[in-house]
Amino acid sequence: MRAKAEARLGVVERLRPEHSGSALPQLRGLGLRCFVGAAAAVIALAVRIPLQPLLGDSAVFATFYPAAMLASWYGGFVSGAVASALSVVSIDYFLLAPHGSLRIERPADRVAVVAFLVCSLVVSVTQERLHRRLREATAQAARISRLQAFSAALAEAATTAQVVAVAVREGVAASGASGGMLRLLDAERRLLLSPVVHGATLDRRAIGARRGAEDRRAEGGSGPSATMRVDAEGASLALRALRGEEIASEVRRGADGTEWATSALALAADGHALGVIELDFRGRNAPEGAERAFLVSLARQCGHALDRARLFEGEHRALARLAVLAEVGRVLAGNVALEALPNLVGRVLVPGAADACVLEVYDDAGACVARGVSHVEPRFEARLRAQPLAPGPSALRSAVVDHGSVRVSETDPDDHAGILGLVGARRGTLVVVPILRGAQIEGALALIGLRGGRRYGDDDLTLAEEIAARAAAAIEQSRLNAELVAAVRVRDDFLSVASHELNTPLTPLRLHLGALRRGRADPAKMGERFAALDRQVDRLAQLVGQLLDVSRITAGRLALERSPVDFAALVRETAQRMEGPLAASGSALTLDVPESLVGSWDAIRLEQIATNLLTNAIKYGERRPIEVRLEALADASARLTVRDHGIGIAAEHLERIFGRFERAVSVRHFGGFGLGLWIVRQVVEALGGTIRVDSLPGEGATFTVDLPREG
């Protein structure tokens, strides 16, 4: 492509303005034109004099007519006029009577001389006009060719960088400028980006920039980083052109006194400015007339080419974004663990969509539970990843909490320092979006551009939001997976505990029944045996009852049968029923219960609450005293408190033990399904009450149940 462009450049070079008039004979300079006129007259005389003997006094103008015509053809009106005047003098002096004198005696000769003079002058004027028209037509044809060659060269350029390089190089060549530079506007059309320069220009910044530009062009980059605000004060040529001047021109003087005319033209498409081209012309020769119109067409072509390149790049970027989205979707499609997710996404986004990327996942309290940092520099990335999560609120989370989605095309060192600090940078461009589940902030994603060229636009913001939506779904999925795994583990644990628990009462049951069947039982101990049988059957009934309650509660079938119940009497009866186990455990029970405390409750469920709490107090009470207290509260509710002084519960288990199958002790030391407290809480809540526990390990536990007396 470059070779083709060079070939076209050759065409342009051949058609440069200096050469454009060379197709026509065109003598420049007054002296030369006068000389040609004089020479023509002399030659005509020199040819005519030898013919005198042959022609006599007839046909005196024979050689002078063609001489005047030829002179005006080559030298225009001036040559024609000089040739005509000298011819008249020569004819009069040498050929008309009296010879050797400038007098003309015969009236016919006078008429002939005047006729010759008029004719040759008319011919000269006509030729001059013809010349001018031809010159203009030729110049116009040359301009059209230059414009065509320029368009053809631009047509080969696909990307903005290519268009800029071709436009400035070929634009300089086609316009006959000594040099020029082209500056683009940024995506927001607020900044003139670094110039790309070609040829010799007067602008010192540009000359400095040229080296940078050439270096960068060699690297495939786009130029130095000097930028200029479009809304800046000052009447720079570029700004004048951007503000609507068709061609803004001024004459500048170099340090060595050389003068240059510089013209700036806005490059626009559909009324939107995309950049500015500035062309320098040696001398004070700012383009005029047709050349001006030519430059305007040139700028229009550039504008369209830039617009086309922008569309092309936009499409290219859209395809790249789709590819990134597809890839993110692919890596997140599997069963991704929460901790691995941020880095997996980062790996897809860097370096295609960002130079660095941070993805954080938060828990319900907003604490960061997983963070991934990716960076174009693998060694730097390894260092960043090795850093532990800093305690305290994350800067990324604060940004999304305060502002939602953020797009920053250029940061100052102090802006977003917290986020940039996560990737060890002080400056950069940013896109930050929250990862949302409904209104809840599940995490945040930051795409960071560290190289000058990466500027984020609205499309990138949309891309980041799309990625965030996919990440949100994957986070949800991985949380569900983790919950599922935990639930399966709990179920398996429960099954092994349940089989052990259900089996435990069966062994003594079988032994006692076997002894009874064989008639070997000591009649004196029959009562004891039946009591033992009763205890095991009660235990089995309690376990089966708990299992039935679980299925009832989870199916939403916990029906309450409310009626007036005396809670005080019920607690006393329960304590009485528990005398056996209390005696077996060795714990002394203190009851602090009023005479009567009546409310609208479900008697069976109320007994279940009291029995479960007392059973646990006996089970975990380590033979130490147990206190049960029932009181009426001022707010028309009843409070049951069951306190033991046994093993107690560690702080981290206090909430958990009210969960289904949750236990804070090992199954080897204490039996149980881990269902009792869960059922109690369900019943208490169904009755409109609350339950809580206060405990310290080794110091016992106090369960407090508050129940409203009216349902």
* Residue (469 or 665) nearer to ligand ADP, CB: 665
Task: Write the CB contacts of 435 (distance below 8 Å, at least 6 apart in sequence).
Answer: 359, 361, 441, 442, 443, 444, 445, 468, 471, 472, 475
Binding track, positions 147-186, relative to ligand ADP; x by CB under 6 A = ----------------------------------------
* Residue (165 or 705) nearer to ligand ADP, CB: 705
Binding track, positions 409-448, relative to ligand ADP; x by CB under 6 A = ----------------------------------------
CB of residue 701 to ligand ADP, shortest distance in Å: 4
CB of residue 432 to ligand ADP, shortest distance in Å: 44
> Could you say which residues in the range 614-673 bind ligand ADP, by CB under 6 A?
616-617, 620, 644, 646-649, 657, 663-665, 672-673
Residue 577: how many CB atoms within 10 A of its CB? 15
* Residue (71 or 610) nearer to ligand ADP, CB: 610
* Residue (216 or 660) nearer to ligand ADP, CB: 660
Scan for tokens 């997140």, then name that residue: 332
Per-residue buried b or exposed e for 180-212, using 16+ beta carbons within 10 Å of the residue's own CB: bbbbbbbeeeebbbbbbbbbebbbeebeebbeb
Q: Which two tokens stand for residue 684?
A: 């208490």
Rule CB under 6 A: say whether 494 interacts with ligand ADP.
no
CB of residue 559 to ligand ADP, shortest distance in Å: 22
- Amino acid, single-letter form, for residue 443: G
Rg (C-alpha) for the chain, rounded Å, is 52
Kindly write down the DSSP assignment for every residue of 555-590, as one continuous string: TT------EEEEHHHHHHHHHHHTHHHHHHHT--EE
CB of residue 580 to ligand ADP, shortest distance in Å: 18
Task: Write the CB contacts of 177 (distance below 8 Å, at least 6 apart in sequence).
Answer: 171, 199, 279, 280, 281
CB of residue 700 to ligand ADP, shortest distance in Å: 7
Task: Write the CB contacts of 519 (distance below 8 Å, at least 6 apart in sequence).
Answer: none
* Residue (20 or 616) nearer to ligand ADP, CB: 616
DSSP class of residue 29?
Answer: S
- Chain residue at closest Cβ approach to ligand ADP: 672
675 contacts 663 by C-beta, under 8 angstroms = no
Scan for tokens 């644990």, then name that residue: 493
* Residue (372 or 672) nearer to ligand ADP, CB: 672
Greatest CA span in the chain, whole angstroms?
Answer: 188
Q: Which two tokens stand for residue 523?
A: 């009649």
Rule CB under 6 A: say whether 502 interacts with ligand ADP.
no
CB of residue 615 to ligand ADP, shortest distance in Å: 8
Quick one: 64 exposed, middle or buried, by C-beta within 10 A (0-12, 13-18, 19+)?
buried
CB of residue 491 to ligand ADP, shortest distance in Å: 16
- Amino acid, single-letter form, for residue 328: V
* Residue (260 or 494) nearer to ligand ADP, CB: 494
CB of residue 387 to ligand ADP, shortest distance in Å: 39
* Residue (43 or 547) nearer to ligand ADP, CB: 547
The one among 165, 677, 683, 707 contacting ligand ADP by CB under 6 A: 677
Residue 683: how many CB atoms within 10 A of its CB? 25
3 state SS of 483: helix
* Residue (435 or 613) nearer to ligand ADP, CB: 613
Q: CA–CA separation, 555 vs 656, rounded Å?
A: 22
Packing angle of the helix pair 676-686, 603-620 (nearest 10 deg)? 150
* Residue (263 or 616) nearer to ligand ADP, CB: 616
CB of residue 394 to ligand ADP, shortest distance in Å: 35
* Residue (459 or 592) nearer to ligand ADP, CB: 592
Per-residue buried b or exposed e for 88-103, using 16+ beta carbons within 10 Å of the residue's own CB: bebbbeebbeeeeeee
Q: CA–CA separation, 170 vs 694, rounded Å?
A: 85
Q: How many residues bind ligand ADP (CB under 6 A)?
A: 20
372 contacts 514 by C-beta, under 8 angstroms = no
Q: CA–CA separation, 361 vs 341, rounded Å?
A: 9
CB of residue 673 to ligand ADP, shortest distance in Å: 5
> Could you say which residues in the range 34-53 bind ligand ADP, by CB under 6 A?
none
Rule CB under 6 A: say whether 701 interacts with ligand ADP.
yes
* Residue (567 or 658) nearer to ligand ADP, CB: 658
Q: CA–CA separation, 656 vs 659, rounded Å?
A: 5
Q: CA–CA separation, 291 vs 300, rounded Å?
A: 14
Q: Which two tokens stand for residue 2?
A: 């470059």
The one among 64, 456, 494, 678 contacting ligand ADP by CB under 6 A: 678
* Residue (549 or 566) nearer to ligand ADP, CB: 549
The one among 192, 675, 684, 687 contacting ligand ADP by CB under 6 A: 675
Please report, for residues 504, 575, 661, the alpha-carbon distance to residue 674 in angstroms, rounded to integers and kept in the order given. Answer: 16, 22, 4
CB of residue 541 to ligand ADP, shortest distance in Å: 15
Rule CB under 6 A: say whether 674 interacts with ligand ADP.
yes
CB of residue 689 to ligand ADP, shortest distance in Å: 17
DSSP class of residue 185?
Answer: B
3 state SS of 304: helix
Rule CB under 6 A: say whether 505 interacts with ligand ADP.
no
Containing 271, the helix (H) or strand (E) segment is none
CB of residue 612 to ligand ADP, shortest distance in Å: 6
* Residue (74 or 673) nearer to ligand ADP, CB: 673
Across the beta sheet with 356-362, the strand order is 368-375, 356-362, 440-449, 429-437, 406-408
* Residue (214 or 592) nearer to ligand ADP, CB: 592
CB of residue 629 to ligand ADP, shortest distance in Å: 15
CB of residue 678 to ligand ADP, shortest distance in Å: 6
CB of residue 655 to ligand ADP, shortest distance in Å: 11
* Residue (401 or 667) nearer to ligand ADP, CB: 667
Containing 469, the helix (H) or strand (E) segment is helix 458-517
Binding region for ligand ADP (CB under 6 A) out of 46-54, 65-73, 560-568, 674-682: 674-682
The one among 80, 275, 372, 676 contacting ligand ADP by CB under 6 A: 676
CB of residue 669 to ligand ADP, shortest distance in Å: 10
180 contacts 279 by C-beta, under 8 angstroms = yes
Binding track, positions 571-610, relative to ligand ADP; x by CB under 6 A = ----------------------------------------
* Residue (432 or 675) nearer to ligand ADP, CB: 675
* Residue (116 or 678) nearer to ligand ADP, CB: 678
CB of residue 665 to ligand ADP, shortest distance in Å: 4
Residue 58: how many CB atoms within 10 A of its CB? 7
Which spans of this chain sit near ligand ADP (rule: CB under 6 A)? 616-617, 620, 644, 646-649, 657, 663-665, 672-678, 701
